[in-house]
Structure 1
Amino acid sequence: MTDTKTILIAQIFISGMMACLMTGFFSFLKLGPTLQWLQEWPSAFVVAWPVAFCLSLVVGPLAFRIAGRITR
């Protein structure tokens, strides 16, 4: 298994990328390719990233346990 520091850093990157992509995608669906979309996206991302990070700390290990059981 990978060390704790690497896992934590990976979770920061994973949660950041997912928050960016998800807030961008869903705000684009709601607002379309407009100036308002470009103005709203950053604030949605700033709120979503810490939430995504905290949730990934719980869901990540659970997902790895489930995947490990499936692949054994």
Structure 2
Amino acid sequence: MTDTDQTTPLNPKATVIVAQVFISCLMAFLMTGIFTAIPMQFQPGWVGAWIARWLTAWPIAFVLSLGVGPISFALSTRVLMAARRG
């Protein structure tokens, strides 16, 4: 890795999209794991059910995060600006 690799600015839009891939993946993975384990109580076959649910949930979570992300950033900016004023 050269010095220019470390000092080259990253594309902010690309960074947000890559972050959304990781965030949606991990959240879908954890949420489907929890909500599969609770009713199945770790019975045989729960891992297969978990993975099937995760593979369904991840793309949905990613698409929704692309819409919710900008709304969340806008809301957090408004809240922080209001807190700064008050």
| TM-score normalised by structure 1 residue count | 0.94
Q: How big is each residue's C-alpha offset from its partner over 1:20-62, in whole Å with a ceiling of 9 and x where there is no partner?
A: 0000000111111122211201100000000000000000110
* Richer in helix (by share): 1
Aligned partners of 2:74, 2:31: CA distance in 1, in Å? Answer: 25
Aligned partners of 2:52, 2:42: CA distance in 1, in Å? Answer: 16
Aligned partners of 1:38, 1:55: CA distance in 2, in Å? Answer: 25
Q: Quick check: 1:51 aligned with 2:38?
A: no
CA deviation after TM superposition for structure 1 residue 16, in Å: 0.1
Q: Gapped runs of 5+ residues in structure 2?
A: 1-10, 82-86
Aligned to 2:45: 36
Q: Gapped runs of 5+ residues in structure 1?
A: none
Matched residue count: 71
Aligned to 2:20: 11
Percent sequence identity over aligned pairs: 39
> Runs of 4+ in structure 1 displaced over 6 angstroms?
none
Larger Rg: 2
| TM-score normalised by structure 2 residue count | 0.79
Q: Which amino acid aligns with 1:59?
A: V
Larger relative CO (CA 8 A, sep 6+): 1 or 2?
A: 1
